[in-house]
Amino acid sequence: MSDARDGVWVLTIGDELLRGEIVDSNKSHLSQRMLALELESARHVSVPDDPAAMEEILREAARRARVVLVSGGLGPTRDDLTTEIAARTFGRKLVRDAESLEQIRAFFRRFNREMASNNAKQADFPEGADILPNPVGTAPGFMLEVPGPAGAPPTQLFFMPGVPRELYRMLDEQVVPRLEARLGARRTVRARLLRTFGIGESNLDRMLSDLAQGDPDTVIGFRTQFPDNLVRILVRAADARTADAKLDVLERDVRARVGDLVVGVGERKLEEVVAELLRERKRTIAVAESITGGLIASRLTDVPGSSAYLLEGIVAYANDAKVRALGVSPESLAQHGAVSEPVARQMAEGMRRAGGADIGLATTGIAGPDGGSAEKPVGTLWLALADGEGTIAHRYQLMNDRARNKELASQLALDWIRRRLLGLPISAETFPRLLSAEPKK
């Protein structure tokens, strides 16, 4: 008898999800990992910490899905009800597991802390559950198998913590191996994420519109993760070697179309790419920031080992700070204003000189929401870079949103470093949507 049930349902539990207090990234991560097993997610559902709502969705999911992934509600507090409701829903009594309780106690001992009495409930599981250890937290997970529809295999329900780092590790170490064992030999799926910057999602789709046409085993998808736009490529093949080769060819074809607007692969952020380039080329940098308020330096120092290449950073917000710390000419400030090409250039050159760095980088602009004028509206950004090849400066017109202007300005600055180190152009064609002045050298 064929199994007509859905592949995977993903359930996340917690009042905070329904109130919008946190962004529920667990759903997307769980679905992405299932796709690698060729298990499609058919439903995403969030429910509050309400026993009736939780029981209703667990019953429906167990009836309609082959695999159910549940996150949240395994903590020690009174509103953590998932284990209790799972036991009640499927007619199991709760049983305390002595080994799990000792592991929870050991977790607290490692940090010289006393375990609260209510943490003991985290060692309670529905009778017959397969316990999923949690090496990085106090909430073990568990797996239940419940009867499927007549003639169909049982439904597997995996209950995991809601804390992402705990969930991700449990998923990789406990859940995926169990699913792989159940599924047996299957076709190989390979996927890769290409990060682009400087091009819109719709233009990406247009540029790649004829790739993978007519091939059901090749998928190209798009999503935005401001300020980047992501291209996700996926292939299916009979074996790993064929899938890897097919994916490499597809990536090569995408890069041939998109060119140097591809700034990275996977979850690596632009600052990580820049850090690697600076280390490889043994180059140093010093950063002078006005509009970005230290964000560029912060992003660079998010990468371990940043002291090898970041020598100095100065947030020169006030005009006298630009004069005193960076050697900006008072006459340039008086004649052109702080948000201008001459000031940006002098900031970059002064920063390079003061820091003794190979590269000096500077930002000055109007983040908003006020402070703009007809000549220099909110979102005006001057970006400058000085190195042994000379100084380059561009004016960009960003948005009306202060936070996004700071983030986008920092991304532009980091991409300039990437381009300079790779010998790529920084020209009017690089970011045509944002550039509002020709480069001045």
- The 10s digit of each residue's pLDDT in 234-288 is 998 988 899 999 999 999 999 999 999 999 999 899 999 999 999 999 999 999 9
- State the burial class of residue 91 (Cβ atoms within 10 Å of its Cβ: 0-12, 13-18, 19+): exposed
User: What does the pLDDT look like over 120-146, one tens digit per residue?
Assistant: 999 999 999 999 999 999 999 999 999
CATH 3.40.980.10 fits 6-183, yes or no: yes
270-422 maps to which CATH number?
Answer: 3.90.950.20
Angle at 388 between CA 275 and CA 380, to 5 degrees: 70
For residue 428, what pLDDT is reported? 54
Residues of the chain within CATH 3.90.950.20 domain(s) are 270-422
Q: What is the DSSP letter of 162?
A: S
For residue 441, what pLDDT is reported? 46
Q: CA-to-CA distance for 180 and 190, rounded, in angstroms? A: 15
- Report yes or no: 49 and 79 within 8 Å, Cβ to Cβ: yes
CATH 3.30.70.2860 fits 188-265, yes or no: yes
Residues of the chain within CATH 3.40.980.10 domain(s) are 6-183
Residues of the chain within CATH 3.30.70.2860 domain(s) are 188-265
- Report yes or no: 35 and 236 within 8 Å, Cβ to Cβ: no
Q: Which residues pair with 95 in a beta bridge?
A: 125
pLDDT along the chain (441 residues), means of 10: 77 95 92 85 96 97 95 95 97 96 94 93 97 95 92 92 95 94 79 92 91 89 91 90 95 95 93 98 98 98 97 97 98 97 98 98 96 93 96 93 95 96 80 51 46
Q: CA-to-CA distance for 250 and 269, rounded, in angstroms? A: 22
Q: Which residues pair with 262 in a beta bridge?
A: 196
**Strand 285-289, strand 310-315: pairing:** parallel
Residue 265 token pair: 């692969």
Q: CA-to-CA distance for 304 and 315, rounded, in angstroms? A: 22
For residue 189, what pLDDT is reported? 82
Residue 248 token pair: 């490499």
Q: CA-to-CA distance for 355 and 336, rounded, in angstroms? A: 25
Q: CA-to-CA distance for 283 and 285, rounded, in angstroms? A: 7
Q: CA-to-CA distance for 108 and 129, rounded, in angstroms? A: 25
* Angle between helices 319-326 and 341-355 in degrees, nearest 10: 40
* Alpha helices per DSSP H over 175-237: 176-183, 201-207
